[in-house]
Amino acid sequence: MSHGADTAELASAPSGPFHEATAAENNKLGIWVWLASDCALFAALIATYLTLHNSVQHAPTAAQLFDLRLTATATFVLLLSSMSMGIGVEALQRNDVPGMRRWLWLTVALGAVFVGMQAFEFTTYWHHGLTLSASDFGASFYTLVGFHGLHVSFGVAWILSLLIFSYRRPITAADAWRFEAASLYWYFVDVVWVVIFTVVYLMGKVG
């Protein structure tokens, strides 16, 4: 195919508000399919944890180790970040780009604090003898909670990339869905944390 033909093909490609809206819907559908499949992935990890959490060998148990005050604080941090994300996307809807940036920076900061708290928690448990190979409980705990931590880290990087993008060029109608996609992902990460907080930490503390 010649270069001229390529140009003609591009020029006749569908464009305009209708095309943008349809593309955004399709992209959103893709995000929801991804989140639904991620649900199954986390379910497998949670099921593995539930199967192995009583197998502690000589390592410390969940009831001995878990500091609920730290985890509850981390939960509030993540909860606040969901709120700031929502208000940020709301600001974008009103075309308040500086407002959107402020709230998204706050979201990034809160996400980073959450990851930092998780790193602190892991380090503390490690020093108390719960290593990855110390027991089946340790292996399944670090895998599940660490995998969630990776999700949060990825979310922070994603939102950061959107922020950088917003400084480099104007946000157009065609770009707006990217922010919604990131917000959906961020809320999903929060939803998964609610399950982990309940199943792993709260129920783990009471045995």
Partner 1 sequence: MSGALKTAGHAPAPVSGHSGGQHLHLVVAGLLAVLTIGAFGAVWGGLLSGAALFPVLAFLAVAQITLQLLFYMRLRWDRRLFTMLFLGGVVLAVLIDLATKSMLVR
* Sites of contact with partner 1 (CB under 8 A): 17, 20-21, 24-25, 28-29, 32-33, 35-40, 42-44, 46-48, 50-51, 68-69, 72, 75-76, 79-80, 82-83, 86-87, 89-90, 92-95, 169-177, 179-180, 183-184, 187-188, 190-191, 194-195, 197-198, 202-203, 205-206
Count of beta carbons in the 10 Å neighbourhood of residue 178: 17
The nearer residue to partner 1, 87 or 112, going by C-beta atoms, is 87
Q: How many residues does the chain have?
A: 207
Q: Which residues fall within 8 angstroms of residue 124, CB to CB, at 6 or more apart?
A: 67
Rounded Cα gap, residues 171 and 162, in angstroms: 10
Rounded Cα gap, residues 64 and 56, in angstroms: 11
The nearer residue to partner 1, 36 or 150, going by C-beta atoms, is 36
Rounded Cα gap, residues 75 and 92, in angstroms: 26
Angle at 147 between CA 79 and CA 56, to 5 degrees: 105
Q: Which of 128, 142, 154, 157 is nearest to 200 (CA)?
A: 142
Rounded Cα gap, residues 65 and 198, in angstroms: 16
The nearer residue to partner 1, 31 or 129, going by C-beta atoms, is 31
Q: How far is the CB of 157 from partner 1 (least distance, A)?
A: 20
The nearer residue to partner 1, 153 or 180, going by C-beta atoms, is 180
The nearer residue to partner 1, 109 or 129, going by C-beta atoms, is 109
The nearer residue to partner 1, 157 or 194, going by C-beta atoms, is 194
Q: How far is the CB of 137 from partner 1 (least distance, A)?
A: 15
Q: How far is the CB of 116 from partner 1 (least distance, A)?
A: 20
Q: How far is the CB of 102 from partner 1 (least distance, A)?
A: 13
Q: How far is the CB of 155 from partner 1 (least distance, A)?
A: 14
Let me know: does 138 contact 132? Beta carbons within 8 Å: yes
Q: How far is the CB of 150 from partner 1 (least distance, A)?
A: 19
Let me know: does 106 contact 84? Beta carbons within 8 Å: yes
